[in-house]
Structure 1
């Protein structure tokens, strides 16, 4: 399973793909930085992608799905991004995170692998 950093770096690289000026935003270069810096750039990419034409959003969405990444609407969803932080950590630490993971795991936003990890974290927290 891809880490949160890998998912966000690939997403940013796709959003900024058309502009060679932003070579610093390639997946390879983003992976060299910290997770926090990748999250910051990903937030900017999410904001930019929400301003794209619907046809461009649909094209980006199909590219994301074709390489095994979450859909554009998932990445634009703040609760999904919070879920990815918990999933990346691998454990639920507080009640609020438990409720978040439980609610997201009951949707169609997650891949089969992500759902299995979510159920595992829920089980461990409940014990």
Structure 2
């Protein structure tokens, strides 16, 4: 299975986060609260052209990773495919599900043509 995001993208995201945190600290500001695993992982996904599936409230929709049992299984959307990816395992299980409106999937609250947890399309609510 492919590694999503790539090791290079993840290294770049970690370095950028470290530089950003250092710059803020040198300026006398308070560094933002980040996670050493999750934050670079999400940044690398977005830099790689992925969007992240969100809930109706606009928060990242997370599941439980079947491999490591951590509760950070993201659904990364790109090119009409939904990929189940864990920042701890990073093994991408292609869901092989066509995704309608994948480019809009993380733009605020879920659009009517959003994708369910298992990659199945969720019907638009009645108007």
Normalising by structure 2, report the TM-score. Answer: 0.29
Bigger strand fraction: 2
Bigger helix fraction: 1
Normalising by structure 1, report the TM-score. Answer: 0.29
